[in-house]
Amino acid sequence: MKLYYSPGACSLSPHIVLRESGLPFTPVLASTKTHKLADGTDYYTINPKGYVPLLELDDGQRLSEGPAIVQYVADRVPERKLIAPWGTMERYRQIEWLNFVSSEIHKPFSPLFNPAMPEEAKAIFRERLRGRLQWVDEQLQGRDYLLGNAFSAPDAYLFTVANWSKFVGIDLAPMPTLTAFMARMAARPAVDQALQAEGLKK
């Protein structure tokens, strides 16, 4: 398999899950700025959407969208318990979290990285994100991870997007439970490996 990624982008989530899975894969850098690969290949010829992540399977099929990719990867190695079996309530809770992180946290970050977005508008998005992250902080109370005391795929997604806070002026210090979660995640070997592979940690 090949994972097309850009350092620190939302593709870090499936990158972490792939490392947790133990499945063999090749990370392929796809710049979100130039939309080209290291060898000059136009990334749009691989993914017409132009963004990461994209997982290319060994049979040539391509799967996009992070929440879909992490479920696919996790289902390949059920013994790792990265996601609950289909049909269980726990699985639907994990899908619920993947959707919440996607729509309510990931998406509102986008305007904050847009240099053309007026500061007045950015202030509105920051306030909305603070509210969402504060809610997550409350949900994490008494838990090590989103679904309890065991890591699962949604944790990788939350870690990835919440980590962007420091780049856009959102302080997580008033959210001690979320802050502790972030530190717990950063200490996981698979997370450390993914961060190092993407050049985000020395």
**Lowest-confidence region among 83-87, 184-188, 198-202:** 198-202
Q: What is the chain's mean pLDDT, rounded?
A: 97
- The confidence score (pLDDT) of residue 28 equals 98
Tell me what pLDDT residue 201 has: 86
Does residue 202 register a pLDDT over 90? no
| DSSP 8-state secondary structure symbol assigned to residue 85 | P
Distance from C-alpha of 94 to C-alpha of 83, rounded to nearest angstrom: 7
**CATH 3.40.30.10 domain span(s) along the chain:** 2-80+190-197
- Please report the pLDDT score of residue 151 as a whole number: 98
Crossing angle for the helix pair 119-139 and 153-162, nearest 10 degrees?
140
State whether the Cα torsion 127-132-133-135 is positive or negative: positive
Q: Does residue 186 register a pLDDT over 80?
A: yes
CATH number of 89-188: 1.20.1050.10
Query: 3-state SS string over 23-82?
Result: CCCEEEEECCCCCEECCCCEHHHCCCCCCCCEEECCCCCEEECHHHHHHHHHHHCHHHCC
Average pLDDT over residues 151-178: 97
Read off the pTM: 0.97
Give the pLDDT confidence of 87-144 residue by residue, as tens digits.
999 999 999 999 999 999 999 999 999 999 999 999 999 999 999 999 999 999 999 9
d(CA 60, CA 65): 17
Share of the chain above pLDDT 90, in %: 98
Across 69-75, average pLDDT: 98
Pick the CATH number of 2-80+190-197 from 3.30.70.1230, 3.40.30.10, 3.20.20.140, 3.30.470.10: 3.40.30.10
Enter the DSSP assignment of 113.
G
Residue position matching structure tokens 């509105």: 124
Q: Quick one: pLDDT at residue 129?
A: 98
Structure-token pair, residue 159: 């870690």
Pinpoint the residues of the chain covered by CATH 1.20.1050.10. 89-188
pLDDT given for residue 31 in this prediction: 92
